[in-house]
A and B are shown apart, each in its own frame.
Chain A
């Protein structure tokens, strides 16, 4: 009976101390969250619960990497199932004769095996496979955690193996589940063979198993919030409070002062929770175009550096004001890392626990920008946006000049009502390489008999990139100019050829009161084709399609362009990374104007290589004016003009409708 009393006392002490340590840590983190900026993330409870089921119970994103997904599911399910063991084990010590019954007892042992297999797979993953995504992660912590879990599972087997000897001799109760714990039962045969069944030997063995199990569980509980394994507790709430607003909306409401992040209080509380949810799995790093290009950015390291900085500041007792500590923007996270981001969002898309990297990076960029620290090329673009309303530094008057040379006039939507209003965007209007395409879109609309118009010099850049460089004020000015022009215009629908403009109009202008439905031209043209207003002759060629980040990922428009491409008679072959998991061309977030120094391999070149690996694909179809520029440059630089041709969806339509001669776009029909 002494044994029971000792175990009871030990359990109570361990429970209280681990809860105290756990609570202290959680309170510190919650304190930071409370002081951070507010954001609404507890609405739409039904959807949130459904998303928890999808991403916690069903591991939706985890299974994208099959091996890791399976091993994690094994260990994760163990954490749930083995709660039975904790109840059983503490129960049998505190309540003589307590049992969970043979079925649950068997399940415990089955999951002991499942977890051990999961751990073996995890070790194999880290020791043998060694994915690059773990680079920079705390591997020691990972092995420590795996060791602790192994200890717990071993503890379960050990105490179960000694319990039958104690139940009768020491606790004077029956042990009806001795055989149900088949692993423990098996091990108990060994103890009999060794003769370790006396109350003293069995008591010692049982205590060892109990401490390995329950002791480590409590130790784990205390250690967790200081390690990456805190995600066991934070992942569920973090997924619950994920962003359910339009994905492409970087700033949900007009900021009171600035979007700049200088201290942890300038983050939203969800940003703080993000830091403590990161499991260091590196899936974000694996999909990051900047990282792939050899630039210093890893979304994972941004999160870890911020978390470590916050931990240091909490430990120092003054996380709010830390004058001696390095600045978050430029110190904790370097300017080179921050400016390398293309804001493509692949990191957020890959994160199994819904960490939002891009808003943090943009907030930090904004702080750099306020201090005047910005890439010279980006600065030039910002000044040009401010002065001329476009990144080309061209006069506003020249914006509609692309339309010269068309044999029909284009309506000025500010002066006469139109059915479709076309927001043309900078690159389509000013870039000489893209202007031909812009004219082609106009010809297609004309051919389909669409009553359309543009805003002429009333249109300025949408501000999507300015905002992502961190210049909210400039975004606001640009948006105000566009909204003023849009207010004057009469139209039934608005569409754009530029995914970046689409994103701003659709998602970022809402907080400024603009709520018209905005379409991408691939959606709008899809309708024209469906209505029979454009007749297409099949092209009969094989092509692959590149999803622009601001179309596919941020706005989930992946099917419309594909359907349209197929309607032109194209046999569409997918690249491995497609749809919402497309790979960025490297131009977004202002990157198109910035220095490329230090880049080992441009993301656009990597993407072209990905397309080249597809069998017999000679056409690389794009649906974004920036992609036309980026990928054409890559194909030329790589000397692949004969092998792969970059074409816009509009060109496919042009040939299929007979507007363009085949030779004009060099579509060698096969």
Chain B
């Protein structure tokens, strides 16, 4: 069983986003962290591997800057291989283009199961799973969890509204957009990452920037303050009255 996990890093939203004078994201100001859903996908892949005993997990990332530490971290966590797709890719690589680059590599790499995060925060086409699956023309399901492999098929759970749940069965090769792993992503120590960085190596694969239709961002704006908060002070009884009156006014109380 060969499992690939598609990973990428995204801006760390702990930092305030800065805009350039041209209304573009000031990419140089950003710090990047692994997309949290990709971390979940990696964890789920490692758990599937633990369960099956015999599986090979490969972390795959497009080299849009500094993805090495993310890939070494994946190796330190237990991935068997790490593939970096290198080429003329910048930090602004749109996800539609990214998906095509990944698909080009995956086509011939012979993976039975491909996992990735259900979404990412970096652009409007953050759902890479569906895009890649489209390129590869393989079975695909997104917003899924609890992945299990049995008898050449992949099973997973997909959640619907009102607490309904579907168990899906896909023929391999299949591509899944992972909502959450069964367990929180494991911690890996700095020392272990350091040691793996010294002893392991990343496999580099050439990739080409494809011609794909993408959405162009004309200008970004900072959110504008719409209204102001009103502070109610004084006697708790009186404040409570005001709260009730407001809720009533907004028709939020059933009388």
Instruction: Please give the residue numbers on chain A whose beta carbons come within 8 Å of chain B beta carbons, in ascending order.
Output: 257-258, 366, 369-370, 372, 374, 376, 379, 382-383, 386-388, 393-395, 397, 471-474, 476-477
Contacts and interface: CB of A to CB of B under 8 A. Distances in A.
Interface stretch (B168-176, B181-189, B200-208): B181-189
A383 to B, nearest CB: 8
A395 B194 contact: no
Nearest to A385: B190
B187 A372 contact: yes
Interface in B72-108: 77
Nearest to B77: A372
Nearest to A378: B187
B187 A382 contact: yes
25 contacts: A257-B191, A258-B191, A366-B189, A369-B189, A370-B191, A370-B192, A372-B77, A374-B187, A379-B184, A379-B187, A382-B187, A383-B187, A387-B14, A387-B31, A394-B14, A395-B14, A397-B15, A471-B189, A472-B191, A473-B189, A473-B193, A474-B189, A474-B190, A476-B190, A477-B190
A471 B190 CA distance: 7
Contacts of A386: 190
Given A379-B184, A387-B33, A393 B14 contact: yes
B181 to A, nearest CB: 12
A258 B14 CA distance: 31
A319 B12 CA distance: 47
Interface of B: 12, 14-16, 31, 33, 77, 184, 186-194
Contacts of A376: 184
Contacts of B189: 258, 366, 369-370, 471-474
A395 B16 contact: yes
A372 B188 contact: yes
Contact of A395 (B15, B186, B190, B193): B15
Given A387-B12, A388-B14, 12 more contacts: A257-B191, A366-B189, A370-B191, A372-B186, A374-B187, A379-B184, A393-B14, A397-B15, A471-B190, A473-B194, A476-B190, A477-B190
Contacts of B194: 473
Contacts of A473: 189-194
Nearest to B186: A372
Contacts of B31: 387
Contacts of A257: 191
Interface centre among A257, A372, A374, A379 (most CB of B within 10 A): A372
A374 B77 CA distance: 14
A397 B30 CA distance: 12
Nearest to B78: A372
Nearest to B188: A372
Contacts of A471: 189-190
Interface centre among B12, B31, B186, B191 (most CB of A within 10 A): B191
A382 B184 CA distance: 14
A397 B18 CA distance: 13
Contacts of B186: 372
A374 B189 CA distance: 11
A211 B192 CA distance: 60
A27 to B, nearest CB: 35
A25 B31 CA distance: 59
B18 to A, nearest CB: 11
Contacts of A472: 189, 191
Contacts of A370: 189, 191-192
A479 to B, nearest CB: 12
A394 B12 CA distance: 11
Contacts of A383: 187
Contacts of B193: 473
Nearest to A375: B187
A19 to B, nearest CB: 46
Nearest to A382: B187
Nearest to B194: A473
A169 to B, nearest CB: 77
B45 to A, nearest CB: 14
A258 to B, nearest CB: 6
Nearest to B46: A372
Contacts of A474: 189-190
A370 B191 CA distance: 9
A477 B14 CA distance: 20
A64 B145 CA distance: 58
A471 B194 CA distance: 13
A473 B191 CA distance: 5
A130 to B, nearest CB: 42
A491 B12 CA distance: 34
A466 to B, nearest CB: 9
A366 B192 CA distance: 11
B42 to A, nearest CB: 12
Contacts of A476: 190
A477 B189 CA distance: 12
A374 B186 CA distance: 8
A471 B193 CA distance: 12
Nearest to A376: B184
A383 B187 CA distance: 9
Contacts of B188: 372
B137 to A, nearest CB: 36
Contacts of A477: 190
A393 B36 CA distance: 15
Considering the complex of A and B, which 4 residue pairs feature the smallest CB-CB distances, nearest first?
A473-B190, A372-B186, A473-B191, A474-B190
A239 B194 CA distance: 38
